[in-house]
Structure 1
Amino acid sequence: MTASIFILTGAGISAESGVATFRDAGGLWSKVKLEDVATPEGFLRDPAAVHAFYNARRANLREVEPNAAHYALARLQRDYEGEVTLVTQNIDDLHERAGSRSVIHMHGELSLSLCAHCGARAKAESDLSLTLSCAACGTASSLRPDVVWFGEMPYRMNEIYDRLMDADLFVSIGTSGAVYPAAGFVAEARTAGIRSLELNLEPSDGTFLFDEARHGPASKLVPAFVEAALAS
């Protein structure tokens, strides 16, 4: 039976495309306070500033393209005979633009808006602002980015844990190992006897928990991993 693969990706896989990271040296959290732009309380205090922050992130995303790591994972999903679950902590759409399907965005998607009043989601075709109303319920000034902020529960967690527990191999790509609950996946895998592999630019906080760790650029490590997986 072909092994089932569960893949988790983080900011490191998109950094080589030019998407700004959050936690690295010089990352976004060194320039803005996360409590101001990435918490429900920050949005209540100054929604205009929060919209400006995410509008800038959305503009940046329009200027970048998927890299070799994104394309390699899309190829793995397409050509691998076993099950491949792709979960990302990233709010960008680079996996989809590279051709990946059924990507689970546990922290939401920058390209979507969420109505704080009725919960409706819609494409964020343009910048979000306080002047926009929800197309579903008509409530004014109710739209926010459909991203998971600190203090909020990541999306689809029951499904994610079920898929992780059904996997034969857990692969963590480009993650710091500092943000929970995703940082706990490797410990869950270890307890369940699931093999684990870290592909990261440098050792993460949880490197010691992995069965194997390879360090270097995602654009080099991920295609090599995919080639080996398809060859086996």
Structure 2
Amino acid sequence: MEELKVLVVDDESRMRKLVKDFLNKKGFIVLEAADGEEAIDIFFSDNSINLLILDVMMPKMDGWEVVKEVRKVSKVPIIMLTARGQEQDELLGFELGVDEYISKPFSPKILVARVEAILRRSNQLNEDVIEAGGITLDITAHKVLIEETEVELSYKEFELLTYFMKNQNVALSREKILNHVWNYDYFGDARTIDTHVKKLRSKLGDKGEYIRTVWGMGYKFEVNQ
């Protein structure tokens, strides 16, 4: 993977270290800032930052003020972290141009998965081959291997598996899946998704269990650890 740079902004040093360690393991370069003012200084002095992870409550300048300043000059992806978990905070974040919103406490693995998913959507993180739990998906060759044995998938099944594997550990609603895989808004019968998921699970054999049902919402691709 091309080395991408993430700026982590949080006044808690332990939180910054936790996030940094998990991102480093995935090959990201991580810069740190302990408050909003330091974050602004770093961001405006380094034009190669690919994504920001911002805490909301910080001294000197809070996360909202940082977002406002950054959005004046850049559309760089931003993930907001907050301990409050209040709906009005989330709505404010999206109004200001925040890409993702994660409430503390959170799983570092989930955060990394969100980072990777956002960078893929913004075409900064491009992977021709994705591997997970014994499944190898070659996007360029349009081929899927399970433990080196090729599996024949229909076009939509391949697109569905690609979307799942690009968003590992992220719960995906049926609406999101339809918008990204079928490329249209769909608010009616969800059997289109469910039927394809059932067929895909069957073709993946034992690996089909990685596609887990999130009851009342949709699905999540999660490899057993």
Confirm or deny a common fold (TM above 0.5).
Answer: no
TM-score between both structures, scaled by the size of structure 1: 0.36
Q: Which has the higher helix share?
A: 2
Could you tell me the TM-score, scaled by structure 2's length?
0.37
- Greater relative contact order (Cα < 8 A, sep 6+): 1
